[in-house]
A and B are shown apart, each in its own frame.
Chain A
Amino acid sequence: MIWNEARECMSRDEMHNLQSARLKKAVNRVYHNVEPYRKKMQEAGLEPGDITSIEDITKLPFTTKDDLRDNYPFGLFAVPLSEIVRVHASSGTTGKATVVGYTRKDIDVWAECVARCCAMAGLGRNDIIQVAYGYGLFTGGLGGHYGAEHLGATVVPMSVGNTQKLIDMMIDFGATGLMCTPSYLMHIAEVIEEMGVKDKIKLKATLNGAEPWTENMRTQIEERLGIKAHDIYGLSEIMGPGVANDCEYHAGLHVFEDHFYPEIIDPKTFEPVPDGQTGELVITTLTKEGIPMIRYRTKDLTSITHEKCKCGRTTARISRFTGRSDDMLIIRGVNVFPSQVEAALLTVDGITPNYQIVVDRVNHQDTLAINVEVEERFFSDEIKELESLQKKIEHAVHQGIGLNAKIKLVEPKTIERSMGKAVRVIDKRKLV
């Protein structure tokens, strides 16, 4: 089902005109209300009048996560706080969170976009949808929740944690929809199989995002549970989940172009790349009031097509993500930069030890281990001292990135070096 045919199926010409008009407004808004944007435009010799159509977007400077960090917490907001009805936050590169704000209208647009995603997955007002993303600063829980409510479905705000209860309720309520991370879905499938209750569930469709997965994982889970699984994409800087979603043909994720303008650029030259070619996804929010993003560099690598989809939608589609143009890791849905881990280790005794981050997926759950070389200054002849060191590091890492890591002490000089440089990250997750 198509939730908003007028928008999702409009002709490319109409879309072009709508995007041009909205971009002009967006540029005016940031130029007059957000000082850092105005400064950047002035430095580039630009005035709002120079932007007359969507093609002119390439004249505008990029925005990055650094801009959000430099203007922490509210410096990029385009409206007074009296207009902001909610904030969300995600982890930043140096421990400081990235804060985003929403006006009432932004929340409505977000709900509209997530409702479109649910409709793509075949869900509607007669469905019971469990939202099993974390509720809180993370955009997943509340984003999914408001969207499913806007759809008119019966929403069950599960959040994450108690899988047994989730499945019990799935059976008792006859839940037909589920939103959660792909790895959590795999875990839920396993528990359903262990409990031997597969024939008791009425689940039809799931919307899964916030972490990388593969087409193979998607079809595998569909078969195991007899459901339709859909890939939902989003990031808090732009809005949260619901920036794009794949339809029943799974031929890429439809970007809701009336609100988000996607570009694909070469991450080295910053030049646009043609349709079908892989590059970094750059998104401009066309309607956002709270914290508009102009040419935000997502660092996610993908390609784009503007061809009409078999489903009837005309919106541009981005392919499954192939990676990142930076070193960010997504572990259990949490964004982690190796630099954050390094900063956390530094707090233990003021010197960064030789370390290595090892990410793996065991039983469909991400695991994080940090190997730390036992250098002379850490070393002791007593196990309790080494154990207390491990605990100290564990605590520092948890403080720094919000994730539990297993700290493994290893012998000196055993961390793999490549061209003399220690290999800091090993990602063993096989996403094939």
Chain B
Amino acid sequence: MFIKQITVFIENRAGRLEEVAQVLKENDVNIKSVSLADTSDYGLLRFIVSDYAKAVNVLKEAGFSAMAADVIAVKLTQEVGQLGELLSVLSDVSVNVEYMYGLTSDDQSAFIVLKTSDQNKALEAVKAAGYELYTA
């Protein structure tokens, strides 16, 4: 099952990141995980939040480019080789990882958030391999 991630476009200007966090705080949206991809001129801020629909709305209202996208969050145990194993499951079905980052659930389990070249195929593969998925 997919979960929703929000993506926000921000220019590389001082204070912009803080403004995004401020908007979410003021609207009582909890940030569960965050990742920033940067280029020389702009960055893409990716969040897993408590209420994605609300987050997208309030960010748009505040003038940001924001969107929701489907991602997969796969549970990993704290053992050597776990990530490599997961990635081999994906490469076996010829799926590329576009980006990924970590997420910790309320019960302190570790998850890896994935965006791949074929999300449906990726989802099937990890399910078939017996991985536990994060559900918001």
- Residues on A facing B (Cβ under 8 Å): 374-376, 379-384, 386-387, 408-414
Contact = CB atoms under 8 A, between A and B. Distances in A.
Interface residues of B, number: 20
A170 B24 CA distance: 63
Contact of A411 (B11, B37, B69, B115): B11
Contacts of A375: 65
A376 B16 CA distance: 19
B46 to A, nearest CB: 7
A81 B100 CA distance: 65
Given A410-B11, A411-B10, A382 B42 contact: no
Contact of B65 (A376, A382, A383, A384): A376
Nearest to B38: A383
A409 B64 contact: no
A381 B44 contact: yes
A379 B41 contact: no
A386 B40 CA distance: 13
A380 B98 CA distance: 12
B130 interface: no
Interface string B98-129: 11000000000000000100000000000000
B47 to A, nearest CB: 11
A417 to B, nearest CB: 13
Contacts of A384: 98
B63 A381 contact: no
A410 to B, nearest CB: 6
B39 A383 contact: yes
A394 B37 CA distance: 22
B64 A381 contact: no
B92 to A, nearest CB: 23
A379 B46 contact: no
B131 interface: no
A383 B41 CA distance: 12
A387 B65 CA distance: 16
Contacts of A379: 7, 9, 65, 67
Given A381-B5, A381-B46, A413 B98 contact: no
Interface string B55-66: 000000001110
Given A408-B41, A409-B42, A411-B10, A382 B98 contact: yes
A410 B63 CA distance: 12
Interface of B: 5, 7, 9-11, 16, 37, 39, 41-42, 44, 46, 63-65, 67, 69, 98-99, 115
Pick the 3 closest A-B CB pairs, nearest first. Answer: A381-B7, A381-B69, A374-B65
A387 B41 CA distance: 11
B106 to A, nearest CB: 24
A166 B127 CA distance: 66
Most B CB within 10 A of own CB, among A386, A408, A411, A413: A411
Nearest to A408: B41
Given A409-B9, A411-B11, A381 B67 contact: yes
Contact of A383 (B10, B44, B63, B64): B44
Given A379-B67, A381-B44, A382-B99, A411 B39 contact: no
A412 B46 contact: no
Contact of B37 (A374, A383, A414): A383
A379 B11 CA distance: 13
B1 to A, nearest CB: 18
A383 B69 CA distance: 14
A381 B70 CA distance: 10
Given A381-B69, A381-B115, A383-B37, A411 B98 contact: no
Contacts of B42: 386, 409-410
Nearest to B66: A379
A374 B9 contact: yes
Nearest to B6: A381
A376 B7 CA distance: 12
